[in-house]
Amino acid sequence: MNFNSKNPFLNSKRFSSNAEPRTEVHQAQIIDYNQEMTVSGTINKTAILFLILCGAAMVTWWMAFNGMNPMLPTIGGAIVGFILVLVSAFKPQASPYLAPGYALFEGLFIGGISAIFELKFPGIVINAVGATLVTFLVCLGLYKFKIVKVTEQFKSVVVAATLAIATYYLISWLFSLFTSYTPVHYGNSMMSIGISVFVIVIAALNLFLDFDLIEKGAKERMPKFMEWYGAMGLMITLVWLYIEFLRLFAKIASRD
């Protein structure tokens, strides 16, 4: 944006008429900091998404404990939430609209799946919520005090492990649909519990990537919509972490 002051005293013509002749003229630019990504802005938007998710989760939770079938909003929320994540990955500039939608539909899924686990294993939800919160705070502290540094090698390992887990889950799910194959991570065997612990560790490591994205995005003065993108990425990781804790605690509870 070219700087053309409305103040007569600062008028560009007045400056040029009194300035010494130059062979090269540089035009000043105004940097609108209100249109740039900030850490505080991302935190605020993460809080907004969290409140939307919790509000939506209460809907399917209430349905489950009041004699209504929450499966339609639960399954529908999971599908729509996944679609919104894919769209956002290719169109980050649409994140201001996609992120709240993701929080809404993912909240429906979270509320329904949490109610299902709670009905089968009373008390499991509060344990999973507590474990997720503690993990988040520990990872945030480790990142803030530079105990864990996000290097390129660190990113490569975490991304590779995450993709491997996603591929394994997808292949296992497809096999279980069309064959009698039972995936190793099903059930409550020690092997299954070990896999859940490993997945939780990888999910927690993804939090460091989210923190790094938000911090670097703010330093590089990325567009304002990246606050929503960063907040959405953080929420996706937290949801994944929470679901994995639910599954782990359910496996342990079923062994008793």
Percent of the residues in the chain that have a pLDDT greater than 90, as a whole number:
79
DSSP state of 255: T
pLDDT of residue 180: 80
- How many other CB atoms are found less than 10 A from the CB of residue 191? 11
Higher-pLDDT residue of 31 and 158 is: 158
Predicted TM-score (pTM) of this structure? 0.85
Torsion of CA 220, 53, 80, 84, to 10 degrees: -10
What confidence tens digit (pLDDT) does each residue in 9-40 have? 334 333 333 343 444 444 444 444 568 999 99
Separation between Cα atoms, residue 157 and residue 205, nearest integer Å: 10
User: Do residues 183 and 199 lie in contact, with contact meaning Cβ atoms separated by under 8 Å?
Assistant: no
Separation between Cα atoms, residue 21 and residue 27, nearest integer Å: 15
What confidence tens digit (pLDDT) does each residue in 225-251 have? 999 999 999 999 999 999 999 999 999
Contacts (Cβ under 8 Å, ≥6 apart) of 221: 31, 36, 37
